[in-house]
């Protein structure tokens, strides 16, 4: 009692009695209690340690409790903990400048938000105001956030009970393993997905379409790395029909895909870029829109009708600036790319050879999906029971998994070492051996 550390059971009981949890039936919660963390490791209240293969919600790219980021927050807290967005502040300006250092030429403004959903919300608004058009095209296999337009832009099941915003149209993006286009290879999939998108644009009426909003690499929906040429083809369609291209880099950006921005690997230039998560690893909530000069200029004389009390919050901006500087100095993006190519990719592919239940392994950087199938021929997904057992088996062996539908996403922090990555893969292997025995 008193100041003693509570047990896992006490924390879970206390939490679930009073905290209303996201995306959950409240009587069926079974959270893992987390007390602290360091790098790729987290620790519960009973003193058990776990290798964090989830990066929490795929956002702790720099690892837990990075000393430079923690110290920057402490320093900023001692100087100024909050400031109205209308005032100028050096920390906010520095964060914007560092973010823009990694954006393509022709991007010189950042609008800060509190997270990814409101980043997409405001990017959609900018595209609508800039074009004078209404519709926003997004894919069925996507997640863009849980606010008015962002949740309706989202394609997955979470959109359906929340469909109150108007002007949203969905289409199918490329997914070679489960092709909607009877494609037999990546190239066909990319070409046919582009043909499908063009038909949707034509059928909706190009003059009514403000934006195409895409996750550069769809994340929660299954980490489908786009086929070569697909994103360049979307850019070409957007240009041909006068449509704004918004790339959602909330999950894929800031090292996750082994690049500062995932689109750096695909020879494509968006008009608006949305970010959150990895920009400061969520140490303090932060997101934003990186705005091309052309769209920014539209608001030089005209008032932008949008804002947030915490836009450019100094604690968030201090953590972003420190995080980007640490990523630069410590080669964290390069590490993510290399460990993906040399250790995670080959390691997970060798698991696929060993276990028939693995249908496909795909990804890059520290952004990998392992898709499980009950039947290799029909590609029928494994059951929810299988995924539940796998999740439990991974946890019991000392790692925190991220699972979605019939997939395990292998998404550790970008700072993971080769040995830690091998350990993570061997935990998944042991767990799979146990659940398939």
Nearest distance in Å: CB 377, ligand PLP: 32
- Selected from 40, 53, 95, 276, the binder of ligand PLP by CB under 6 A is 276
Does 144 participate in binding ligand PLP (rule CB under 6 A)? yes
Query: In angstroms, rounded to a whole number, what is the distance separating the alpha carbons of residues 281 and 279?
Result: 6
402 three-class SS: strand
Element (H, E) at 97: helix 90-101
- Selected from 42, 73, 117, 213, the binder of ligand PLP by CB under 6 A is 117
Q: Of all residues in this chain, which one has the CB nearest to ligand PLP in the complex? A: 116
Q: At 338, list the tokens.
A: 């290399």
Query: In angstroms, rounded to a whole number, what is the distance separating the alpha carbons of residues 274 and 295?
Result: 14
For ligand PLP, the closer of residues 22 and 26 by Cβ is 22
For ligand PLP, the closer of residues 211 and 373 by Cβ is 211
- Selected from 37, 115, 222, 258, the binder of ligand PLP by CB under 6 A is 115
CB of 237 within 8 A of CB of 197?
A: yes
Which class for 58: exposed (0-12), middle (13-18), buried (19 or more C-beta within 10 A)? buried
Interaction pattern, residues 244-273, with ligand PLP; x per rule: CB under 6 A: ----x-xx----------------------
CB of 98 within 8 A of CB of 325?
A: yes
Does 143 participate in binding ligand PLP (rule CB under 6 A)? yes
Query: In angstroms, rounded to a whole number, what is the distance separating the alpha carbons of residues 291 and 129?
Result: 13
Nearest distance in Å: CB 62, ligand PLP: 16
Query: In angstroms, rounded to a whole number, what is the distance separating the alpha carbons of residues 118 and 215?
Result: 15
Does 226 participate in binding ligand PLP (rule CB under 6 A)? no
Edge-to-edge strand order for the sheet containing 41-43?
36-38, 41-43, 49-52, 399-400
Does 121 participate in binding ligand PLP (rule CB under 6 A)? no
Nearest to 133 by CA among 203, 211, 201: 211
Nearest distance in Å: CB 374, ligand PLP: 27
For ligand PLP, the closer of residues 157 and 182 by Cβ is 157
Nearest distance in Å: CB 210, ligand PLP: 18
Torsion, CA 41, CA 277, CA 252, CA 348, rounded to 10: 20
- Could you tell me the end-to-end alpha-carbon distance of the chain, in angstroms, rounded to an integer? 43
For ligand PLP, the closer of residues 116 and 233 by Cβ is 116
Does 215 participate in binding ligand PLP (rule CB under 6 A)? yes
User: How many other C-beta atoms lie within 10 A of the C-beta of residue 18?
Assistant: 7
Does 287 participate in binding ligand PLP (rule CB under 6 A)? yes
Interaction pattern, residues 49-88, with ligand PLP; x per rule: CB under 6 A: --------x-------------------------------
Residues contributing to the site for ligand PLP (CB under 6 A):
57, 115-117, 120, 143-145, 215, 219-220, 248, 250-251, 276, 287
């Amino acid at each position: 009692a008193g100041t003693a550390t509570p047990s896992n059971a006490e924390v879970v009981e206390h939490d679930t009695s009073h905290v209303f949890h996201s995306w959950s039936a409240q009587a069926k919660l079974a959270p893992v209690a987390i007390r602290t963390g360091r790098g790729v490791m987290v620790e519960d209240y009973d003193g058990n340690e776990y290798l964090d293969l989830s990066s929490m919600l795929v956002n702790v790219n720099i690892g837990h409790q990075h000393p430079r980021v923690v110290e920057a927050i402490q320093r900023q807290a001692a100087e100024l903990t909050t400031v109205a967005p209308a005032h100028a502040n050096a920390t906010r300006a520095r964060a914007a400048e560092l973010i823009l250092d990694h954006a393509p030429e022709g991007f010189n403004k950042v609008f800060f938000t509190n997270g990814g959903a409101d980043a997409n919300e405001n990017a959609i608004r900018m595209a609508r105001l800039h074009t004078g058009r209404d519709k926003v095209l997004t894919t069925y296999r996507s997640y863009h956030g849980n606010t008015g337009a962002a949740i309706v832009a989202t394609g997955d099941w979470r959109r359906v009970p929340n469909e109150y915003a108007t002007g949203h149209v969905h289409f199918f993006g490329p997914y070679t393993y489960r092709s909607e286009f009877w494609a037999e290879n990546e190239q066909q999939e990319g070409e046919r997905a582009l043909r499908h998108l063009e038909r949707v644009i034509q059928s909706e009426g190009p003059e009514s379409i403000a934006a195409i909003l895409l996750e550069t690499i769809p994340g929660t929906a299954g980490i489908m790395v786009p086929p070569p040429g697909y994103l360049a083809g979307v850019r070409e369609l957007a240009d041909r029909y006068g449509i704004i291209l918004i790339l959602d880099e909330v999950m894929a950006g800031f090292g996750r895909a082994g690049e500062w921005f995932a689109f750096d690997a695909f020879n494509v230039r968006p008009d608006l870029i949305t970010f959150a998560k990895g920009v400061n690893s969520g140490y303090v909530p932060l997101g934003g829109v990186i705005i091309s000069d052309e769209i920014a200029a539209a608001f030089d004389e005209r008032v932008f009708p949008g804002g947030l009390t915490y836009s450019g919050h100094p604690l968030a901006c201090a953590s972003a600036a420190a995080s980007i500087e640490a990523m630069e100095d410590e080669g964290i993006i390069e590490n993510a790319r290399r460990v993906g190519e040399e250790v995670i990719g080959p390691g997970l592919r060798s698991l696929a050879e060993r276990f028939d239940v693995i249908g496909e392994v795909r990804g890059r950087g520290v952004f990998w999906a392992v898709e499980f199938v009950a039947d290799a021929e029909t590609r029928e997904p494994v059951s929810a029971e299988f995924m539940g057992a796998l999740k439990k088996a991974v946890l019991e062996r000392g790692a925190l998994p991220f699972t979605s539908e019939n997939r395990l996403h292998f998404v550790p922090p970008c700072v993971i070492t080769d040995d830690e990555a091998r350990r993570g893969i061997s935990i998944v292997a042991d767990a799979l051996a146990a659940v398939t025995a």
